[in-house]
């Protein structure tokens, strides 16, 4: 039985609050992610989804609230410390080191995020590249990668240090349907190896193919959460996020 089935939380966010001037971007968000699970986060543009990832990953300090990782309070930990504790992160727009090869990009992630050195760091980088389907591109410069391979490299860099939790920020964006399928297969295989994912995504079919639970955020608040079909067919979610009931049929 996976820990996802036991419901044991790897990550808990309690009462996360953040405002930019008069604009509240996170309004008392509570969130839990079970170990070994994939939790998807959806919501309209400006809902506060990426802000939430920034807060969880340590790039942004909330005005209030607590964050627990495996039961330990990491609310005040910097992003570099959270990376060492087991949080990996991707970003919406992949920005590999253009002049470095795929292997060198992964190696930098292992050494900087994970603190590994020597032969161990090389082994970890090579393993991350294989797991993310980039073995044939290992010596290609980051600047020469097509979009799918940039997305794969972004994922490889996030998992290279061996995190327990990976925060994914719209890694399926801009890909074809077939490419989305390739990417979701990689995420599923990584989950089967024990990784946990919190995945912000607009490409809903990527989440319906992978997620155990989906959380819908709007106006900085959680408006619905549960198994994918229940959330995506919730009339409030359909109206506020998809815009019309007909969209759900196309998205699923």
Residue 56 lies in a domain: yes
CATH number of the domain to which 168 belongs: 3.40.50.300
Could you say which of 108, 129, 161 is where a domain stops? 161
Top mean-pLDDT range of 118-122, 152-156, 232-236, 237-241? 152-156
Q: How many Å apart are CA 188 and CA 199, to the nearest integer? A: 12
**Total domains present in the chain:** 2
CB contact at 8 A, 169 and 91 = yes
> pLDDT digit string (tens) for 220-245?
999 999 999 999 999 888 887 666 44
**Does residue 169 come out as left (phi exceeding 0), alpha (psi in the -120 to 50 range) or beta?**
beta
92 in a structural domain: no
Q: What percent of the chain has pLDDT over 70?
A: 92
- How close are the terminal C-alpha atoms of the chain, in Å? 27
**Same domain flag for 37 and 130:** no
Q: Which domain holds residue 115?
A: 97-161
Claim to verify: residue 78 and residue 168 sit in the same structural domain: yes
Which of 140, 161, 182 lies at the terminal end of a domain, its last residue? 161
Both tokens of residue 244? 């019309």
Q: With bands split at pLDDT 50, 70 and 90, how would you rate the model's confidence at 35?
A: very high
- Residue 232 maps to a domain: yes
Both 16 and 82 in a single domain?
Answer: yes
Question: Residue 250's pLDDT is what?
Answer: 38
Residue 8 belongs to a domain = yes
Cα separation, 227 vs 50, in Å, equals: 21
Does one domain contain both 67 and 107? no
Q: Are residues 67 and 105 in the same domain?
A: no
Task: Tell me what pLDDT residue 246 has.
Answer: 41
- Per-residue confidence at 112, pLDDT binned at 50, 70, 90? confident
Report CA 246 to chain centroid distance, whole Å: 28
pLDDT score recorded for residue 7: 62
Q: What is the pLDDT of residue 116?
A: 80
Q: What is the pLDDT of residue 83?
A: 94
Across the chain, what does the average pLDDT equal?
91
**Both tokens of residue 66?**
């607590």
| 181 shares its domain with 234 | yes
pLDDT of residue 242: 65
Q: Is the pLDDT of residue 85 over 50?
A: yes
Tokens at residue 221, please?
A: 């608040």
- Whether the CA torsion 69, 75, 76, 78 is positive or negative: it is positive
Helix (H) or strand (E) holding 72: strand 72-73
Q: Is residue 91 part of a domain?
A: no
Q: Are residues 124 and 190 in the same domain?
A: no
E strands, 114-249, are 165-169, 196-200, 213-218, 221-226
Query: What is the pLDDT at residue 5?
Result: 45
For residue 220, being part of any structural domain is answered with: yes
Distances (CA, A) of 173 to 15, 148, 201: 29, 10, 8
Whether residue 32 sits in one domain with residue 148: no
Tell me: the pLDDT tens digits for 19-34?
999 999 999 999 999 9
Q: Same structural domain for residues 149 and 245?
A: no
Report pLDDT for 240: 73
pLDDT for residue 212: 97
Residue that is last in its domain, among 126, 161, 196: 161
What 3-state DSSP class applies to 48?
A: coil
CA distances from 41 to 24, 44, 109, 197, 206 (A): 18, 10, 25, 11, 11
pLDDT at 138: 97
pLDDT tens-place string over residues 160-193: 999 999 999 999 999 999 999 999 999 999 999 9
Give the chain's count of helices (H) and strands (E).
Answer: 11, 10
Closest of 202, 165, 154 to residue 86, by C-alpha? 165
Residues 210 and 243 placed together within one structural domain of the fold:
yes
Q: Is this model's pTM higher than 0.85 or not?
A: yes
Q: Examine residue 102 and state whether it is found in any structural domain, yes or no.
A: yes
Quickly state the pLDDT bin for 247 (edges 50, 70, 90).
very low
């Amino acid at each position: 039985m996976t820990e996802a089935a036991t419901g044991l939380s790897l990550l808990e966010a309690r009462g996360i609050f953040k405002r930019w001037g008069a604009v509240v971007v996170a309004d008392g968000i509570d969130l839990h992610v079970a170990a070994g699970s994939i939790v998807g986060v959806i919501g309209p543009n400006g809902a506060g989804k990426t802000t939430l990832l920034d807060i969880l990953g340590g790039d942004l300090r909330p005005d209030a609230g607590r964050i627990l990782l495996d039961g330990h309070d990491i609310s005040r930990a910097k992003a570099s410390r959270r990376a060492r504790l087991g949080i990996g992160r991707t970003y919406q727009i992949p920005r590999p080191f253009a002049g470095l090869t795929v292997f060198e990009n992964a190696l930098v992630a292992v050494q900087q995020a994970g603190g590994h050195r020597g032969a161990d760091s090389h082994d970890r980088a090579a393993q991350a590249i294989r797991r993310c389907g980039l073995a044939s591109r290992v010596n290609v410069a980051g600047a020469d990668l097509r979009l799918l391979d940039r997305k794969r490299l972004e994922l490889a860099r996030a998992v290279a240090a061996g995190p327990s939790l990976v925060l994914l920020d719209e890694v399926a964006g801009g890909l074809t349907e077939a490419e989305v399928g390739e990417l979701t297969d990689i995420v599923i295989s990584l989950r089967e190896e024990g990784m946990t994912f919190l995945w912000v995504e607009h490409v809903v079919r990527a989440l319906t193919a992978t997620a155990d639970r989906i959380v819908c955020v709007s106006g900085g608040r959680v408006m619905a959460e549960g198994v994918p079909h229940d959330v995506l067919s919730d009339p409030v979610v359909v109206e506020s996020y998809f815009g019309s009931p007909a969209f759900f049929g196309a998205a699923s």
